[in-house]
Structure 1
Amino acid sequence: MAPDFIIIGAMKCGTTSLHRYLDRHPQIGMSRSKETDFFLAKQNFARGLDWYRAQFGNDAEIYGETSPNYTKATEFPGVAERIFRTLPDAKLIYIVRDPVNRFLSQYFHHTITGEAVIKPNQLLHSDAGRNYLECSRYHRQLSRYLEFYPLEGIFVACFDELRSAPESLLRRLFLFLGVDSDVVIEGLGQIHNQRSELQELPPWYFHARRSPVLRSITRRLSPALQSTLRRQLRHWPQRRLPMVDEGIRAELKSLLQEDTMKFRELTGMPFNGWSL
């Protein structure tokens, strides 16, 4: 079973919550693992289509997956073309938020997990910072897909609406996907706050999680046991996040202004709550 639609990003824009909401619709089946990362050449693409199809069930009318890495074109080139060659009729969903806030959220996330140890005053001059910027350049990221897919086949959603008016957003999204738009989804408004959860875990947890041997072991644990393990670790003091001053925020706005303007023009969406 291959998916009918893909949530292609963006990272730190509510993709986990959206994935869970869609999975509660009786006509929709989401991938068993939220992020298959199948279309990343250096990740799972070599596993082949049989592996990909096995990530989905067989008891729904349509299927979808969520992999925010699909809109990190600088880090992972060729994804849009790979998806099109495999799923030319797929519908795409791209959820976004204020580009500056998205950038900082990714920075904080990687600081917590130890994937990036960068002082704020060095952030914009680092390789990681440049990659964060690219993820917040929504027009540039979406343009890669428009080389293959028509704009009307891509649903652009805003994180602010997912948080403030999820019923309205989901109704339009269900219509886009061709499923019953009157279905009521339970638990709306419970935005998944991964940052708070991660801050409660000790630093060595993330180093262990990146170990291939330990990762292989933990993947064999049931989801319930993995959840219990994380809860047991949360007596550790939360780690403090780095302070980002207004000067850095102003520079981010300047660097992202042009792309954001093009994105508004492309989508026809005002994104009124954004800072730029």
Structure 2
Amino acid sequence: MTSGGTPRVDFVVGGVQKAGTTALASFLGRHPGVVLPQGKEAHVFDAPDFDDGWDVESVNRLYDAHFSGRAPVDALHGDATPIYLLHPRFVERIGRYNPAMRWIILLRDPVDRALSQYHMERSRGHESLPLWGALLAESWRLAGHRDDFEPGSPLRHHSYRLRGDYAAQLDVLHRVFPPEQILTLRNHELARQPAQALARVHAFLGLPVDTGDTDYGRVFEGDYSRWPKRGWQRRLLRWWWRHDLARQARHGLEWE
């Protein structure tokens, strides 16, 4: 991506799927100083036809269709597309587009996140295997498709464990962006104390305090996770993913 022009987008809600990003975007979008895409997710940097030779103005033009109406001159424009954190190429594209981009990362216990994604994919008709079959088949399904960004790719629909490998994703993010441009939240902070979590986001973005609508509602309207917290299958999954969880703990991420 060549330089030239001023980036239109100032921040991204960049992770992760099934962690409450829809709720966070909804809460954040109530602020009069924030403009988000219609439909929340612009999917600009993960588009299959994205050209790494595009300059800043070319990317800005891609965003034109996602922002409608007039916005205050000093409004912050954001993009809430969780998959941006998943692949190093998306992070690098964003870094070239706007080196000053601010990242809001919302994470969820990776086991719960994977279960929720699995039930979502089942409900949408994208998954036909039983749970354990889908989890065991993930590496085989992703072979040769880790750089496949097409809409129906296994990377998008069958990356149950990969999407929860937060240690690897955060390592990439911190190689491209300085720590002061990254805010990491865990989903239970948003679910239990939405006002406080949102205040942290506003402060991070340099927004004035918003005293508007404080009716936050549910964070997980579309949650598909159905297993009890203490079931043997969940314990087995945590044992199976113990090395991933240990790496995350070294990032300060420990899950209940």
- What is the TM-score when the length of structure 1 is the normalising length? 0.72
* Runs of at least 5 residues in structure 2 that lack an aligned partner in the other structure: 1-6, 139-153
- 1:86-112 deviations in Å (ceiling 9; x for gaps): 111110011011111001000000010
The aligned counterpart of 2:103 is 92
The aligned counterpart of 1:13 is 19
1:194 deviation in Å? 2.0
Percent identical pairs in the alignment equals: 28
User: Within the alignment, does 1:42 sit opposite 2:27 as a pair?
Assistant: no
C-alpha distance 182-95 of structure 1, shift in aligned 2 (>3 A): same
- Give the distance between the partners of 1:255 and 1:41, measured in 2 at CA: 33
Opposite residue 3 of structure 1, the aligned amino acid is V
C-alpha distance 44-32 of structure 1, shift in aligned 2 (>3 A): farther
The aligned counterpart of 1:171 is 199
- Give the distance between the partners of 1:151 and 1:182, measured in 2 at CA: 25
Equivalent residue in structure 2 for 1:147, among 175, 193, 200: 175
CA contact (8 A) 1:120 1:243 kept: no
* Runs of at least 5 residues in structure 1 that lack an aligned partner in the other structure: 197-240
Aligned runs of 1:28-67 on 2, under 5 Å? 28-42=34-48, 48-49=58-59, 50-57=61-68, 58-60=70-72, 61-67=75-81
SS of the aligned residue for 1:8 comes to strand
CA contact (8 A) 1:7 1:64 kept: yes
- Give the distance between the partners of 2:103 and 2:29, measured in 1 at CA: 16
User: Within the alignment, does 1:186 sit opposite 2:214 as a pair?
Assistant: yes
- Give the distance between the partners of 1:17 and 1:31, measured in 2 at CA: 14
Relative contact order: is structure 1 or structure 2 higher (C-alpha 8 Å, sep ≥ 6)? 2
- Measured on the aligned residues, the alpha-carbon RMSD in Å equals 2.9
Opposite residue 214 of structure 2, the aligned amino acid is E
How many residues get paired?
Answer: 225
User: Within the alignment, does 1:112 sit opposite 2:100 as a pair?
Assistant: no
C-alpha distance 45-187 of structure 1, shift in aligned 2 (>3 A): farther
- What is the TM-score when the length of structure 2 is the normalising length? 0.77
User: Within the alignment, does 1:249 sit opposite 2:234 as a pair?
Assistant: yes
- 1:29-88 deviations in Å (ceiling 9; x for gaps): 111231111101515568942122442254141111111111322xxx511101101111
Moved more, 9-18 or 147-156: 147-156
Greater helix percent: which structure? 1
- Give the distance between the partners of 1:99 and 1:178, measured in 2 at CA: 30
